[in-house]
Chain A
Amino acid sequence: MSPPHNPDAEYFPVQCLSVDEVEKFLNELVEQLCTSIHVTPSMSKVLLYENKWAVQEVLWKYNEDADKLFVASRMKTLHPVSVKTKRDKFVCPVCVGPVAEELGITSLACGHCYCDNCWRCHFENKIKQGVSTELSCMALNCELLVPEEIVLSTVNKPILRKKYQQFAFREYIKSHPLLRFCPGANCTAVIKSKESLAKKAICTQCETSFCFKCGNDYHAPTDCATIKKWITKCADDSETSNYIAANTKDCPKCNIFIEKNGGCNHMQCLSCKFDFCWMCMGDWKAHGTEYYDCSKYRENPQNGSESARAREALKKYLHYYERWENHSKSLQLEKQTLDKIKERINSKVMTSKGTWIDWQYLLDSAALLAKCRYTLQYTYPYAYYMDNGPKKELFEYQQAKLEAEIENLSWKIERAETTDRGDLENQMDIAEKRRATMLQDFFHI
């Protein structure tokens, strides 16, 4: 008997927390540390913030060498200056005036001493600039962090106190490797997971999905660093690639104007019935069912002049970018297809040709198509940065296979009335298997 396997390698369990729940979660960690070693909650927060909230690791480092931990966590300095005890001769180095009788002077663990009025001005100035957890000492080159309790006991304007606490809370969440703000617009949820992985996290509040590790749109099979590089590159090169954006083309055979209105790249001219590929405008039949080679960029190995190489580099980039853009647009158009399917099902149900349950498989197939196209879109940045060689060849071969099956599926869904249900479901199965193949390396299945 085969062991039970997880049918979905992309499954990533997360918890969706409210602001109050996160606060409680973080406070528990702070308390846990406070009760284990002798530090104030304020110091405990600095320690956890500086050590990625790993309580056990902090305890271990504390037992190993507490001073070293405090210095590394910017709570102590290696050579603290001697603390001023006599205040009568004290001149504050910042305001350089005599310190008024009623005004206190405060020094941090580094020994740097200033009058309380200057500390207050310093804190207020920094909070206005959005600084909270990184608020440090006023002395030149002193990195010592100011503990929360000192900030809150010095700053008395309610608005600034509130701002400081809000900013700090945000920073604590950002510094915790297992917590992420939901990137959804106007969503305040915080997503918590058990591991920091580049997997698809879905917010249960607003249904936004994103890569848990980097917070970008989910991007398997491309890794976080590569997708960042790719997105930056595309933003930089948007000028040169603008010309590809056109959504209309002429039929290569009869030159009649054709508008792309579904996601499928298999185009059929309504006028002359010519079947062609939207990407290369070539005869669809030539792409074959065996090998849809429109996805594969052929590199020209000629070593020419610098400008020729630059042209070649641009050509290579455009090849990948065009496909990336095209599948992204197709994905948008698939939404229209879904609406049309719903309309069609509705009219069938109204004329008593089955129930919504009978036609559910059509909606499922549209959902699967979107999922496959999404993965296909994200295979292009990955392929772009791959080194030439057998590994890349295999990847692009599989990519071409997936693309071909997606186009088949898209074609069948758009003409679902004339397609046999079994045939469509078979096609769904094939496409999903192809998709899983592309993700194999990414998920180490």
Chain B
Amino acid sequence: MNNIATQRIKREFKEVIKSEELAKCSIKVDLVGDSYTELKGEIAGPPDTPYEGGIFLLEIKVPETYPFNPPKVRFMTKIWHPNISSVTGAICLDILKDQWAAAMTLRTVLLSLQALMAAAEPDDPQDAVVAKQYKEYPEIFAKTASHWTNVYAGGIICS
């Protein structure tokens, strides 16, 4: 891994640890191994959403060219959401693609994902089935999403 990437990730890691979001048990980042190329993220389901009370694990892979290219992020916890694949956990979010900027950090990525959970964008769907349900039958959608949260994402952050 090149110098800038390692330097950056080390710094960002500290940034998350010191952040007030961590204190509020809302986001968390852990190392996987000691290479800084792979990390594990955690997001608490935002309040007043079907994801409330759930803990969602993320796989974060840091590319060689970080931070000039975005990290590769995927939900490891199954989630029912229009912009996240219910099968693979792949995420459709602009900042993880062409809207990425080198000055963004892991913290901003996690907070953006949390915001995405609170406000889906069904017109730019990753999972067409979920998006259709979200638009046409919002009540059934909310029920399914909260059922998935209970089944797959049950737990408490800050172990």
Contact = CB atoms under 8 A, between A and B. Distances in A.
A357 B4 CA distance: 76
B8 interface: yes
Interface in A84-126: 93-97, 114, 117-118, 121-122, 125-126
A141 B4 contact: no
Nearest to B100: A140
Contacts of B7: 95-97
A114 B104 CA distance: 14
Contacts of A141: 101
A436 interface: no
Nearest to A142: B101
Contacts, number: 39
A139 interface: yes
Q: Which of the four size classes fits the interface of chain A? A: 10 to 19
Interface in B55-104: 65, 67-69, 101-104
A138 interface: yes
A8 B47 CA distance: 70
B103 A93 contact: yes
B135 interface: no
B102 A138 contact: yes
B151 to A, nearest CB: 36
A94 B103 contact: yes
B143 interface: no
Contacts of A142: 101
B68 A121 contact: yes
A141 B108 CA distance: 13
Contact of B67 (A94, A117, A139): A94
Nearest to A131: B98
Nearest to A94: B102
B6 to A, nearest CB: 10
Contact of B8 (A94, A114, A117, A125): A94
Given A139-B101, A140-B103, A141-B101, A94 B65 contact: no
Instruction: Kindly name the residue among A96, A126, A139 whose own CB sees the greatest number of chain B CB atoms within 10 A.
Output: A96
A96 B11 CA distance: 8
A94 B69 contact: no
Contact of B101 (A121, A125, A138): A138
A125 B68 CA distance: 7
Nearest to A112: B103
B103 A138 contact: yes
Interface in B130-151: none
A118 B101 contact: no
Contacts of A126: 68
A139 B103 contact: yes
A125 B103 contact: no
Given A94-B4, A94-B8, A96-B7, A125 B104 contact: no
A125 B103 CA distance: 15
A126 B102 CA distance: 11
Interface string A124-148: 0110000000000011111000000
Nearest to B68: A125
Contact of A140 (B4, B68, B101): B101
Given A96-B11, A125-B68, A125-B69, A118 B4 contact: yes
Nearest to A141: B101
Interface of A: 93-97, 114, 117-118, 121-122, 125-126, 138-142
6 contacts: A94-B4, A96-B11, A117-B4, A121-B65, A139-B103, A142-B101
Given A122-B68, A140-B104, 11 more contacts: A94-B8, A97-B4, A97-B7, A118-B102, A121-B4, A122-B102, A125-B69, A126-B68, A138-B102, A140-B103, A140-B108
